Chain A
Amino acid sequence: MQALYAQLLVGLINGSFYALLSLGLAVIFGMLNIINFAHGALYMMGAFCAYFLLNIAGIGYWPALIIAPIVVGIFGMILERTMLQWLTGLDHLYGLLLTFGIALIVQGVFQNYFGSSGLPYAIPDELRGGVNLGFMFLPIYRGWVVIFSLVVCLATWYLIEKTRLGANLRAATENPTLVRAFGINVPRMITLTYGLGVGLAALAGVLSAPINQVRPLMGADLIIVVFAVVVIGGMGSIMGSIITGFALGVIEGLTKYFYPEASNTVVFVLMVLVLLVKPTGLTGRAA
């Protein structure tokens, strides 16, 4: 039973990353009509940013949790201003190809300097150790990752679905021309949205640094799983992305316990099943 709970926890943690990343993909797709292939590379940059802050500037985990998403978010906004914005009006596939190229560049550069092995990042002192819950031993850091990710996801959902800013954002997704006519600076909004999505990815990167080590390719395989998550959940709904992300993480964790050979592939197999039964994805809207 101990092992089952442990795998469930690992599943919840992976689910947190799936949720944070697919949420960012959905937000970006809504505004820019681009599938951000660079999302995995930017997640990796978030982790590296935390690593540099600690090892070069001596800045610890807590400030890094805020600084890294901002730094990587700004990097993302520069990408949007200098490259992505020129794709407006072109077929969606060009956005995919461009961001794939960006991912190759970023990952290649990091691989050149840091190889493929993992760099350690220590768990902050405050979150070391664990508590015995009676039925299982819970490492505090892992519990923190799950709860904090959930809070961030719900906050993003609240920002987009319940605030005035979010209302403008959703309106601009539906009809950018009309929203511009109301005097809202839509291009700036698009840039900020991209920054937000990228920032979420970087945040996930910082959170994962103490668990998964910091590696140049840490985001490369992850992003493909997240694509499958997005296909399963659909990108029409923010809450849908969050729930699908966590749910698939848990299912993956359960698979690791009951049939470990399939733990790498279970998300892809589920994607196939969902496509066969309900081609539009779980949250409905057709692409």
Chain B
Amino acid sequence: MSAMTDDTLPVTPRAVRDEMIVFAAMAVLLGLVPMTGIYPFFVMQALCFALLACAFNLLIGYGGLLSFGHAMFLGTAGYCTAHALKVWGLPPELGILVGVVAAAALSVITGFISIRRQGIYFSMITLALSQLLYFIYLQAPFTHGEDGIQGIPQGYLFGIFNLAQPTVLYYVVLAGFLGGFLLIYRTINSPFGEVLKSIRENEQRAISLGYKTDQYKLLAFILSGTLAGFAGSLKVFVAQNASLTDVHWTMSGEIVLMTLVGGLGTVFGPVVGAFVIIAMQQYLAGFGQWVTVIQGVIFVACVLTFRRGIIGEIAHYLRRSL
């Protein structure tokens, strides 16, 4: 992990203050979006992916675990929320709960299996597990296979907020994103987060100091998977469908790409990365498969010349932690 953490700075009160200022600025800017006339659907979609990338980053950036299967949490929560809303007719808050609980349960099982191996094997195992789920969802009747679940009712959150109204939905999604973001931020700055970082740096030494590293890794995995699921549940209200695309390995790859572009192991990187990649997809939507090619080129370029990512470079330049 040495290359990635060259410029890891200690958590100081100043760093926390800097990050809170940036966070406040981000929250205000995002809060103003509906007044600017920017297409809210785009920002909402980007916010869901930003939360997803932040959850993924908790594992890779702070635990050193590269999951190549995070789409399984996105897709599982999406399918369960969609099913709960459409077939069971549950209200939005319970629909989200169903999705998040499903993702949490899945992350307990897959985490238990995948943390049994380290490094590169961990990546291959998570990828294989998500492919296993892909085939299960392809055949399971409740997902409607290739068609997916469509026309999902948005309903009234807590019986008050009409999610069919774009502005209301926007603030609900924004609140969900900011809540998830703060939870992750709190986690990485807690004693638990410090132990996690020590495992990333030198697992053997962490073990010799008496930490049960497997438990820490499992807990991080569950937290990451659950939050990724939360992002998946929110996304159902934005897209109003749940389909196989969300469980496919290409989606897992996009999550990795967003985090890599923004900066692995940075607090704000995944958010920036998600906006960049979603904007690029939106902009290049008419170019068909060339989008895949461009994503590949970005992967290659980032790994070869730009490993710190956008926020990582800025933080390095300012000698701050962001």
Contact = CB atoms under 8 A, between A and B. Distances in A.
Nearest to A263: B135
Interface stretch (B31-39, B44-52, B299-307): B299-307
B161 interface: no
A209 to B, nearest CB: 22
A108 to B, nearest CB: 4
A96 B117 contact: no
B118 A287 contact: yes
B129 interface: yes
Given A86-B304, A94-B303, A275-B125, A101 B131 contact: no
Interface residues of A, number: 46
B292 A101 contact: no
Contact of B117 (A98, A101, A269, A287): A287
Interface in B250-281: 253, 256, 260
Contacts of B66: 93, 96
Contact of A265 (B125, B136, B260): B136
A101 B124 contact: no
B27 interface: no
Given A265-B136, A271-B128, A272-B129, A96 B120 contact: yes
B132 A98 contact: no
Interface stretch (A42-50, A136-144, A222-230): A222-230
Contacts of B68: 96
Contacts of B4: 91
B124 to A, nearest CB: 4
Interface string A98-116: 1011111111110110000
B1 interface: yes
B192 interface: no
A269 B307 CA distance: 35
A93 B132 CA distance: 22
Interface in A68-106: 83, 86-87, 89-94, 96-98, 100-106
7 closest A-B pairs by beta carbon, nearest first, are A101-B299, A104-B296, A108-B292, A105-B296, A108-B293, A268-B132, A279-B116
Given A105-B292, A231-B128, 8 more contacts: A29-B120, A94-B3, A97-B260, A100-B299, A104-B299, A105-B296, A268-B131, A275-B116
